[in-house]
Structure 1
């Protein structure tokens, strides 16, 4: 059954006070209503859409912000100005004085304590000294061997080798040149003891000489290394290098003392031999006098 309310072209009777509308006008009105009921696109302009768009735009427009919870800007500026004044009076002035003091100290160090010209002159002098030390080292290593016979040449080469690994070979080569202690029946016990002690001290001195030569080479190499470091060292590192040089000086003094002790031992053995010879001479004289007296008494 057709719903009469949905029929748009049904004839409505006017009220008694309204005038009758012509049929043509009714048809035109119905056509306008149908066109008005056509769906519009969402992007079609309208007053409501324009109003909503303006309200949304107002939400995103930046507004002036008032900081400090509403405190007056003039009061903030006055406080900042006061802080700046205090900083200038109580902080900037002392810092300026400290800066001037540091600049004065720096100028004093550059011009008086560590002048660049004096540092360059010292480096140049060190370079010259290193050159002279190199020449001295070459002179120190000049060959001084003078033996001509095979056995003596072999012993001399060991003594001048400057190599501590040759120390154990000294005794054999020494005996091949100077011989061994005489046999028990060939000399008295005193003479044999004196000879044995003299040979022992002579060999000790030769061995000690090899060790001291090796130590001297080590000291010279270390001195050359320190000289090269001083040539390229910064002024601030000079005390460190100086301390290292002092350590090596103490070591060199210890080595020198060891060499001096060896010389004193050698000299002591020489004096002891002379004393022993005097004692043996006295003993021989006493024995000879006894024999002579005995011979004369028998006559």
Structure 2
């Protein structure tokens, strides 16, 4: 029995092919009901369950943080500030009612105004004219002495000589008498010059005191201490001027005593000379 092979005999009949068309495979990305359902489910899983605020921060978290911050501020800031405010109010009340009461301040200002009026009247007494000279030269000299102007000090010497004269010439008196007279005139002029300067200083002090009194009457309680300190400085200055005036009085008194001593010495010397002359005249008899 002969062997048949399909490879060696091309004329052998081929098996019949099916007449039905082949199914093409559908691609996975093509829209189908199943794919659509799957995509919708994935999208629903990805989307958030609820909306959030701006920048992705939850509004509830922000409100909770703000509430916590407000609570901390009320606890650690508001409470201490409230205590400080209460303390300041009590301090201000103590100052207004005890240390600087309004009624006492107004009363003090009223008293200062009254004192200032009285001081003005007293100051008017110092300006009263006390001139008493009647002759022309003495009137001119007196006006200089009562001028209360330190600029008139250089004219005192010439005015003094016009009234009291100059030291006597050498042949008119003994040297001791001339020396004592010169010293007496010098001290008298010094005292007169110093008196004019002290009058000018007194006017300056009175003017400063008037200004201070006016400022104190209008001053606030806080600035009154500053004015008081300045017034204390003027008191020290016034004491210094008083000491200068007292020293001038002491010098004048010293010259007066020296003149009395010199007069006694001259009298003793003259008495000795006269006794010698009397004894000599009696002896020669």
TM superposition score normalised by structure 1: 0.75
Q: Which runs of 5+ in 1 are unaligned?
A: 1-63
Whether 1:130 and 2:116 are equivalent positions in the alignment is yes
The structure 1 residue matched to 2:131, chosen from 145, 150, 155, is 145
Equivalent residue for 2:281?
A: 295
Identify the range of structure 1 (171-180 vs 193-202) with the bigger mean alpha-carbon deviation: 171-180
Decide whether the 8 Å contact of 2:52 with 2:59 is kept in 1.
no
In structure 2, what is the Cα distance between the partners aligned to 1:277 and 1:71?
A: 117
- How far residue 88 of structure 1 moved from its aligned partner, in angstroms, is 1.4
Which aligned pairs between 1:1-299 and structure 2 lie closer than 5 A? 66-67=53-54, 69-299=55-285
Q: Which runs of 5+ in 2 are unaligned?
A: 1-50
Decide whether the 8 Å contact of 2:146 with 2:196 is kept in 1.
yes
Q: How many aligned residue pairs are there? A: 235
For residue 185 of structure 1, give the secondary structure of its aligned residue in structure 2. Answer: helix
Listed one character per residue, the Cα deviations across residues 77-101 of structure 1 (whole Å, up to 9, x for unaligned) are 2222222222212221111111110
Listed one character per residue, the Cα deviations across residues 47-75 of structure 1 (whole Å, up to 9, x for unaligned) are xxxxxxxxxxxxxxxxx9723x4333333
Identify the range of structure 1 (167-176 vs 104-113) with the bigger mean alpha-carbon deviation: 167-176
In structure 2, what is the Cα distance between the partners aligned to 1:97 and 1:264?
A: 67
- How far residue 264 of structure 1 moved from its aligned partner, in angstroms, is 0.8
Listed one character per residue, the Cα deviations across residues 138-157 of structure 1 (whole Å, up to 9, x for unaligned) are 11111111111111111111
- How far residue 260 of structure 1 moved from its aligned partner, in angstroms, is 0.9
Identify the range of structure 1 (278-287 vs 180-189) with the bigger mean alpha-carbon deviation: 278-287
- How far residue 292 of structure 1 moved from its aligned partner, in angstroms, is 3.1
Listed one character per residue, the Cα deviations across residues 242-289 of structure 1 (whole Å, up to 9, x for unaligned) are 122122212211211111111111111101101111111221222223
- How far residue 126 of structure 1 moved from its aligned partner, in angstroms, is 0.8
Decide whether the 8 Å contact of 2:52 with 2:58 is kept in 1.
no
For residue 142 of structure 1, give the secondary structure of its aligned residue in structure 2. Answer: coil
Q: CA RMSD in A?
A: 1.6
In structure 2, what is the Cα distance between the partners aligned to 1:218 and 1:83?
A: 67
- How far residue 219 of structure 1 moved from its aligned partner, in angstroms, is 1.1
Listed one character per residue, the Cα deviations across residues 98-136 of structure 1 (whole Å, up to 9, x for unaligned) are 111000000000001111111111111111011101100
In structure 2, what is the Cα distance between the partners aligned to 1:177 and 1:71?
A: 110
In structure 1, what is the Cα distance between the partners aligned to 2:86 and 2:183?
A: 77
Distance 1:180 1:79, change over 3 A: same
Distance 1:259 1:66, change over 3 A: same
